[in-house]
């Protein structure tokens, strides 16, 4: 059916590429392009020989001209950005210049400020519309599936949704005292930032990890979870009818929090450059270099993830609660694609988002968040490609 250019060759890209190869009717041809070409070649070597034709390329995704040249030579129908959030705008610029659809999993963040919000990418709306191309923002799990769940709940279960709590539980154990499950720099920037949630149309800010709750997760049990700022709050509050409050919680174990606090206290999580032996270095980037590579956690991680959304709202004039979630097993993921569940739960929806565009099921020129599209074909694909969802009509609520 079409050609996808996948940018990045890390944990998430690896799963997405495996899944594209499981869906060769849609992904006839892919090109894996990243900063380090040897990683692209290793993925090709692992997956070559199936129906999907694979090529590789070296690209610096910070450079728009390089991206344009690559797109012009490979001629993809869609570009899937699985590099880092810093590259979102350059890749969108290249897509605009070449009139090719765009998909990503994380919103743009400037390198020198740990602030993630959609304004930079939403500013491209008119230009994408005029070019007749679609930008699908946030096609991972959270953001991503959480938005699809919200659109599905709105379409099939509610007349209005007043409260959403997004709960992200990773009960996986990799045996290290401290490691992050995806890119350490992005992960630590996210969890060390102030928390926030939206209530009555306004952001309410909290100190980092200030709000803690305990939740009894299906198939996992009780875990401590903390309120974080998360990017999908911003778009869901606009796109879901009737929202009064929307919050995001993520589970963290005590060991992770103690290590993080210590690293923060000694300045290792700072993104302010410092001078070290005559060279400018960013402490957080140095920390990334000494932490375990998330890709290496796959064979060691045991346990499950449970990510989902609890909705409270009204249907036919009556109060209603509804919980949609997915449970994913780290070891099963590793057996299937050689990655742990955090990369898996992001890489599968990235493939599905690109498939929605390639098949024309989702075609809406402009820049759109995932909940703006019809959730039904995406929900079907989640069941088919390894992230089956479950529902409950009487969930425990977050106090």
Ligand X SMILES: NC(=O)c1ccc[n+]([C@@H]2O[C@H](COP(=O)([O-])OP(=O)(O)OC[C@H]3O[C@@H](n4cnc5c(N)ncnc54)[C@H](OP(=O)(O)O)[C@@H]3O)[C@@H](O)[C@H]2O)c1
At 51, list the tokens.
């129906």
| CB closer to ligand X, 85 vs 283 | 85
Scanning 181-189, 236-244, 249-257, 314-322 for contacts with ligand X by CB under 6 A, the matching segment is 181-189
Q: Quick one: which of 2, 8, 195, 313 contacts ligand X (CB under 6 A)?
A: 8
At 371, list the tokens.
């909940």
Please check whether residue 71 is in contact with residue 94, taking contact to mean a CB–CB distance below 8 angstroms. yes
Q: Does 171 bind ligand X (CB under 6 A)?
A: no
Q: Does 74 bind ligand X (CB under 6 A)?
A: no
Q: Does 172 bind ligand X (CB under 6 A)?
A: no
Minimal CB distance to ligand X: which residue? 10
Smallest Cα–Cα separation from 82: which of 297, 351, 298?
351
Q: Does 248 bind ligand X (CB under 6 A)?
A: no
Please check whether residue 332 is in contact with residue 112, taking contact to mean a CB–CB distance below 8 angstroms. no
Residue 8 DSSP SS3: coil
Q: Does 39 bind ligand X (CB under 6 A)?
A: yes
Cα separation, 311 vs 241, in Å, equals 12
Q: Does 140 bind ligand X (CB under 6 A)?
A: yes
| CB closer to ligand X, 32 vs 312 | 32
| CB closer to ligand X, 14 vs 158 | 14
Cα separation, 291 vs 288, in Å, equals 5
Q: Does 82 bind ligand X (CB under 6 A)?
A: yes
Per-residue binding string, ligand X, 293-332, x by CB under 6 A, is -x--------------------------------------
Q: Quick one: which of 71, 106, 297, 358 contacts ligand X (CB under 6 A)?
A: 106
Q: Is 367 exposed, middle or buried (0-12, 13-18, 19+ CB in 10 A)?
A: buried
Q: Quick one: which of 5, 61, 154, 246 contacts ligand X (CB under 6 A)?
A: 61
- How far is Cα of residue 138 from the mean position of the Cα atoms in its chain? 6
Scanning 19-27, 83-91, 214-222, 276-284 for contacts with ligand X by CB under 6 A, the matching segment is 83-91
Q: Quick one: which of 43, 54, 70, 84 contacts ligand X (CB under 6 A)?
A: 84
At 139, list the tokens.
């096609």
Q: How far is the CB of 235 from ligand X (least distance, A)?
A: 12
Residue 204 DSSP SS3: strand
Q: Does 174 bind ligand X (CB under 6 A)?
A: no
At 386, list the tokens.
């390894």
| CB closer to ligand X, 187 vs 196 | 187
Scanning 33-41, 149-157, 251-259, 326-334 for contacts with ligand X by CB under 6 A, the matching segment is 33-41
User: What is the phi/psi pair of residue 26, to 5°?
Assistant: -90, -45
Question: Cis link prior to 143 (omega < 30° from 0)?
Answer: yes
At 271, list the tokens.
């993104």
Please check whether residue 370 is in contact with residue 147, taking contact to mean a CB–CB distance below 8 angstroms. yes
Measured N-to-C along each axis, helices 145-156 and 232-239 cross at an angle, to the nearest 10 degrees, of 20
| CB closer to ligand X, 94 vs 131 | 94
Q: Does 12 bind ligand X (CB under 6 A)?
A: yes
| CB closer to ligand X, 142 vs 329 | 142
Total residues contacting ligand X by CB under 6 A comes to: 31
Q: Is 350 exposed, middle or buried (0-12, 13-18, 19+ CB in 10 A)?
A: buried
Scanning 60-68, 211-219, 267-275, 390-398 for contacts with ligand X by CB under 6 A, the matching segment is 60-68
| Cα pseudo-dihedral 13, 14, 18, 20, rounded to 10 | 10
Which residues would be at the binding site for ligand X (CB under 6 A)?
8-13, 34-36, 39, 59-62, 82-85, 87, 105-106, 140-144, 182-183, 186, 294, 346
């Amino acid at each position: 059916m079409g050609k996808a250019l996948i940018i990045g060759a890390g944990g998430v890209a690896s799963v997405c590429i495996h899944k594209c190869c499981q869906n060769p009717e849609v992904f006839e041809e892919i090109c894996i392009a990243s900063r380090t070409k040897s990683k692209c070649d290793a993925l090709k070597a692992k997956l070559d020989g199936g129906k999907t034709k694979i090529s590789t390329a070296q690209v610096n995704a910070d450079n728009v001209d390089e991206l344009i040249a690559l797109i012009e030579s490979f001629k993809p129908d869609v570009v899937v950005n699985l590099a880092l959030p810093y590259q979102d705008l350059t890749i969108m610029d290249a897509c605009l210049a070449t009139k090719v659809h765009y998909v990503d999993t994380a919103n743009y963040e400037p390198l020198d400020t740990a602030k993630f919000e959609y304004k930079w990418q939403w500013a491209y709306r008119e230009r994408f519309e005029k070019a007749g191309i679609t930008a699908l923002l946030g096609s991972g799990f959270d953001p991503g599936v959480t938005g699809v769940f919200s659109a599905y709940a709105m379409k099939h279960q509610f007349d209005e949704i007043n409260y959403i709590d997004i709960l992200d539980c990773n009960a996986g154990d990799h045996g290290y005292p401290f490691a992050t499950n995806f890119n350490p720099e992005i992960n630590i920037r996210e969890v060390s930032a102030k928390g926030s949630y939206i209530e009555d149309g306004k952001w309410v800010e909290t100190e980092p990890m200030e709000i803690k709750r305990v939740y009894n997760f299906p198939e996992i049990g009780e875990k401590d979870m903390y309120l974080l700022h998360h990017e999908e709050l911003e778009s869901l509050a606009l796109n879901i009818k009737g929202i009064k409050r929307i919050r995001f919680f993520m589970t963290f174990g005590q060991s992770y929090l103690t290590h993080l606090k210590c690293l923060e206290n000694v300045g290792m999580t700072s993104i302010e450059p410092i001078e070290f032996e005559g060279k400018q270095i960013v402490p957080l980037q140095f920390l990334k270099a000494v932490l375990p590579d998330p890709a290496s956690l796959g064979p060691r991680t045991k346990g499950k993830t449970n990510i989902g959304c609890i909705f409270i709202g009204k249907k036919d004039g009556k109060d209603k609660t509804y919980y949609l979630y997915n449970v994913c097993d780290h070891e099963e993921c590793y057996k299937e694609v050689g990655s742990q569940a955090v990369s898996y739960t992001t890489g599968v929806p990235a493939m599905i988002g690109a498939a929605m565009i390639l098949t024309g099921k989702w075609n809406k020129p402009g820049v759109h968040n995932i909940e703006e599209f019809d959730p039904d074909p995406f929900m079907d694909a989640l069941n088919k490609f390894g992230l089956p969802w479950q529902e409950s009509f009487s969930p425990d609520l977050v106090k």
